[in-house]
Amino acid sequence: MSRVAVLGGGLAGIRAALDAADAGHAVTLLERAPRLGGLAGSFERAGRGVDTGQHVFLRCCTAYRALLDRLAVTDATVLQDRLDVTVLRPGRAPARLRRTGAPAPLHLAASLLRYDPVPRRARVALGRAALALRAVDPADPAADRETFGAWLRRHGQGAVAVRGVWDLIGLPTLNLPADEASLALAAVVFRVGLLGAADAADLGWARVPLGELHDVAARRALTGAGVTVATGTRVVAVHRDLRVTTTGRDGRRDTLAADAVVCALPPEIAAAVLPAPLATRLAVDAAALGTSPIVDVHLRYDRTVLDVPFAAGLDTPVQWVFDRTREGDTGQYLVVSLSAANAYLARPSRDLVATFTAALASLLPRARAARVLDAFVTRAPRATFRPVPGTAAHRPAAATPLPGLALAGAWTDTGWPATMEGAVRSGSTAAALVAAPRAADRVAA
Ligand SMILES: Cc1cc2nc3c(=O)[nH]c(=O)nc-3n(C[C@H](O)[C@H](O)[C@H](O)COP(=O)(O)OP(=O)(O)OC[C@H]3O[C@@H](n4cnc5c(N)ncnc54)[C@H](O)[C@@H]3O)c2cc1C
């Protein structure tokens, strides 16, 4: 058995710690915050758990779903039987994107042919572009040199199709509009999610605050596996001999000796604490990856105003809206999720609440007469990296030049955009690299 230190208790760190413990190592998980879950967590507000931002996953997120199973919380999530998205527009009947039981790529054909936000002729062109996108290899460097928007235009997609279909799905998953996003990462989203297996894009979400999954249940699973969970512990330096220096809540310095380290910290923190020369390269990567914000506007109405669990918006500032009402709540609690939210990040909450109350009133007739009982805004300025062309070169592999040290995190080279799935995959990869079951242990077992 060797000593493994896992730095960062987000999804990548949680997965890495569980895998290393399962492989028979003595694992310590070091997390700066008082809770686990990182970007995919929740906090208490007026006695109620509130997510730091609405999170969804797809049926094809197999690694994240396996983590939910491992944490024994799959029952606390919902997964649609079949992808079914209501698309709301001001003054128009809602449109719908849903799959049939047909195999991919025909599973969406019927829905797209009836999808009236896009003119009839352009609907056929949608199918042609979707088929062409299936042929784009996300690993081809050429695909990371072009924007998704430029590629779509070359494949006959006009502004209406981009807005009405490609950005409707791409914006929340890539956290950038098609005109800025790398074709390579867009190809991953659409190939794996929408155009791969017919059921791949069935949508899932948590029925409870994310903290119940990624903090409470994760902590239970980790301690059950024998992991020492040290929250409130900030990593300040990792030395070349793999000693890890930390400071606790009381400011006291400590040093932990380790035989292997999985660094699952955000890129700019990894660059600040890891030893040179790796740190120098990571600082360049962190700066090049940049950040893209997500803002959520939370509105509690005195009555039910939205009849579906979630909806996308078109020709409105509302990108996606989710019903997060829980048993025992009065009225309905809606969360408007805004990706690539640079324009909203610095706007005062009062302003955002007014904008989105009005926008919802124009989409949902019952919201016009409803009273808003409570409203607030959550902001995640560093929600994801900016998946622009050229990003691939700045996403490091798990392996580092320092033996025993591996990198993890949604920002590393997972092949996925910055998602929960990417984070979990990265944790498994890093743990397998430095904390695999040792041959001697395997023989002993
Ligand atoms: C508002 C919002 C909405 C999102 N929506 C979705 C979605 O719908 N679907 C989806 O798949 N993904 C979504 N994401 C992205 C997803 O949350 C992240 O990609 C994923 O959670 C990242 O996990 P991670 O473990 O790589 O990193 P992080 O969650 O950033 O974990 C890093 C951890 O390191 C800790 N840390 C930092 N510094 C130190 C230090 N010095 N010492 C010790 N610990 C430290 C942090 O506190 C944190 O817990 C969303 C993100 C946000 C913010």
Query: Can you give the C-alpha Rg of the chain in angstroms?
Result: 22
Q: How many whole angstroms from its chain centre is CA 439?
A: 35
- For ligand 1, what atom is nearest to the CA of residue 423? 26
**Out of 79-83, 98-102, 262-266, 410-414, least confident range:** 98-102
Specify whether the CB–CB gap between 333 and 325 falls below 8 A.
yes
Taking only the tens place, the pLDDT of each residue in 320-347 is 999 999 988 989 999 999 999 999 999 9
Pocket test for ligand 1, best of 67, 265, 295, 320 (most atoms within 8 A of CB): 265
Pocket test for ligand 1, best of 39, 214, 342 (most atoms within 8 A of CB): 39
State whether the beta carbon of 178 lies less than 6 angstroms from ligand 1. Answer: no
- For ligand 1, what atom is nearest to the CA of residue 382? 53
User: Tokens in use for 389?
Assistant: 């062309």
Positive or negative: CA dihedral 16, 22, 28, 29: positive
d(CA 356, CA 369): 15
Nearest CA to ligand 1 atom 49: 38
State whether the beta carbon of 384 lies less than 6 angstroms from ligand 1. Answer: yes
d(CA 67, CA 57): 12
Average pLDDT across the chain, whole number: 95
* % of the chain exceeding 70 in pLDDT: 98
pLDDT score of 196: 81
Give the residue-averaged pLDDT of 295-322.
98
Assign a CATH topology to domain 3-40+209-290+388-444: FAD/NAD(P)-binding domain (3.50.50)
d(CA 235, CA 272): 10
State whether the beta carbon of 297 lies less than 6 angstroms from ligand 1. Answer: no
d(CA 163, CA 153): 12
Q: How far is the CA of 131 from the centre of ligand 1 (A)?
A: 33
The CA-atom distances, in angstroms, between 197 and each of 103, 104, 187, 191 are 7, 6, 15, 9
State whether the beta carbon of 7 lies less than 6 angstroms from ligand 1. Answer: yes
Q: Which helix (H) or strand (E) element contains residue 48?
A: strand 48-51
Q: How far is the CA of 276 from the centre of ligand 1 (A)?
A: 24
State whether the beta carbon of 419 lies less than 6 angstroms from ligand 1. Answer: yes
The CA-atom distances, in angstroms, between 219 and each of 10, 37, 41, 322 are 11, 10, 13, 27
List all residues 6 or more positions away from 327 whose beta carbon is below 8 Å from its beta carbon.
none
State whether the beta carbon of 174 lies less than 6 angstroms from ligand 1. Answer: no
Nearest CA to ligand 1 atom 6: 55
- For ligand 1, what atom is nearest to the CA of residue 294? 1
Assign a CATH topology to domain 292-384: Polyamine Oxidase; Chain A, domain 2 (3.90.660)
Pocket test for ligand 1, best of 14, 52, 55, 219 (most atoms within 8 A of CB): 55
* % of the chain exceeding 90 in pLDDT: 89
State whether the beta carbon of 30 lies less than 6 angstroms from ligand 1. Answer: yes
List all residues 6 or more positions away from 423 whose beta carbon is below 8 Å from its beta carbon.
10, 11, 12, 15, 40, 64, 408, 409, 410, 414
The CA-atom distances, in angstroms, between 204 and each of 55, 85, 101, 315, 322 are 9, 12, 18, 25, 12
pTM above 0.85, yes or no: yes
User: Tokens in use for 294?
Assistant: 């997500």
DSSP code for 370: P
Q: How far is the CA of 39 from the centre of ligand 1 (A)?
A: 3
d(CA 232, CA 433): 27
pLDDT score of 282: 98
State whether the beta carbon of 229 lies less than 6 angstroms from ligand 1. Answer: no
Q: How confident is the model at residue 438 (pLDDT cuts 50, 70, 90)?
A: low
Nearest CA to ligand 1 atom 53: 383
Taking only the tens place, the pLDDT of each residue in 135-189 is 999 999 999 999 999 999 999 999 999 999 999 999 999 999 999 999 999 999 9
Q: How many whole angstroms from its chain centre is CA 349?
A: 24
State whether the beta carbon of 33 lies less than 6 angstroms from ligand 1. Answer: yes
Helix 62-70, helix 11-22: angle, nearest 10: 60
